[in-house]
Amino acid sequence: MSLSVITGLGSYIPAIKKENIEFIKGHFLNEDGSLFSATNSVIIEKFKSITGIEERRYAKSKYNTSDLGYFAAQKAIEDAKVNKEELDYIIFGHNFGDINKKSIQSDMIPSLATRVKHLLGIKNPNCVAYDILFGCPGWIQGVIQAQAYIKAGMAKKCLVIGAETLSRVVDIHDRDSMIYSDGAGACIVEASSKNTSGIISFASQTFAEEEAYYLFFGSSFDKKKDPNVRYLKMHGRKIYEFALNNVPNAMKMALDKGNISIDQVKKIFIHQANEKMDEAIIKRFYRLYKKTVPKNIMPMSIHKLGNSSVATVPTLLDLVIKGKIENQEIQKGDIIILASVGAGMNINAIVYKY
């Protein structure tokens, strides 16, 4: 039976760097439109202490989400040394489609996957291109779908992309706007008869009772602005508690399904949403096995790249494998976990042998 193996990775880190200090002149407001009692310097310092974010990256105005995805896809195809005409599927995970820098509308016609196929110049009509909306876990879910196609004998090579330009959907009067960034990551997933590496197991869940609207579109905190123009909003405390209570369980579900001991896990690549939250999730995960968290188990990129949603996990994985994150590496045969949580509320995890 064929395993599904990631044979190539690529990421695109936008050129525009925005450091925390650049928010010092921001006009932050409470949800009701009132002013904060704290100064911006206090707000920024507290923000850094909680999220770990020091700076983030924004895309140049001439580039949209599909362009970022295309740049990452090119690198993944080159890394995997595959013929692009042999791709069976292009799966693009995102949240808001293409949003022109000067527009307030989301553009998803044609799909972003189709746009990438067009930009890549792929002529093969049997290369099926489509998008998935699964919140921040979209890229991992795309990898799970690619594995399903391969396992069913419906595909041999798939391109999975995760990209977003969150800087274009944030309310500048909301402190949460400092969290978000732009970026893209991509991989090639191939069928392999060599049982030495690949996807071992996975778990995927959707919680859609009150959790469905923990992330949503809402009006600006500046009540003078057009109330019909919507921005990305979130119930941060509820998301934090939800993630702590549910993500460790999903990770355990995936690990147990693969009959893998937690002692075998060498690295955990988790969605770069919030440093303190990610640390708490990992601590809770190991507690489920009555274990302490091993040193250096969790690579992080959020400090310099912020939260680029669906792009965080593939970008982080690419950076570690390419030796671009200090004191972090993966050896052949290592067991790793890829995990994410986001709008839906959706959670997923993959156990993978490198």
pLDDT band at 3 (very low <50, low <70, confident <90, very high): confident
The structure tokens listed for 301 are 């990129």
Residues 116 and 66: beta-carbon distance below 8 Å: yes
User: Kind and range of the H or E element at 246?
Assistant: helix 236-257
Average pLDDT over residues 234-257: 97
Q: 197 or 132: which carries more pLDDT confidence?
A: 132
Residues 310 and 160: beta-carbon distance below 8 Å: no
With b for 16 or more beta-carbon neighbours within 10 A and e for fewer, the 91-127 pattern comes to bbbbbbbbbeeeeeebbbeebbbbbbbeebebeeeeb
pLDDT band at 253 (very low <50, low <70, confident <90, very high): very high
Question: If you ran DSSP here, which 8-state letter would residue 294 be given?
Answer: P
Q: Has residue 1 got a pLDDT over 60?
A: no
The beta strand positions in the chain, using DSSP E, are: 3-12, 16-19, 55-58, 89-94, 128-133, 157-165, 182-192, 198-206, 215-218, 231-234, 265-270, 335-342, 346-353
Average pLDDT over residues 320-329: 96
- CA Rg, the chain, in Å? 20
Q: Helix, strand, or coil here: 331?
A: coil
pLDDT of residue 2: 67
Other C-beta atoms within 10 Å of 222: how many?
13
The pTM of the full predicted model, rounded to 2 decimals, is 0.97
Q: Structural domains in the chain? A: 3-196 (3.40.47.10), 199-353 (3.40.47.10)
The residue written with tokens 């002692």 in the block is 263
Q: How does the average pLDDT of the chain come out, rounded?
A: 96
Q: Helix, strand, or coil here: 216?
A: strand
pLDDT band at 105 (very low <50, low <70, confident <90, very high): confident
Question: If you ran DSSP here, which 8-state letter would residue 221 be given?
Answer: S
User: CB neighbours of 86 closer than 8 A, spacing ≥ 6?
Assistant: 124, 156, 157
Average pLDDT over residues 230-256: 97
The amino acid occupying position 330 is: I
Average pLDDT over residues 55-77: 98
| φ/ψ (deg, to 5) at 44 | -65, -40
The structure tokens listed for 24 are 């010092």
Other C-beta atoms within 10 Å of 201: how many?
16
pLDDT of residue 101: 84
Average pLDDT over residues 37-50: 94
User: CB neighbours of 211 closer than 8 A, spacing ≥ 6?
Assistant: 238, 242, 344, 345
Q: Has residue 255 got a pLDDT over 60?
A: yes
pLDDT of residue 131: 98
Q: Has residue 49 got a pLDDT over 70?
A: yes
Q: pLDDT, tens digit, for every residue of 266-288?
A: 999 999 999 999 999 999 999 99
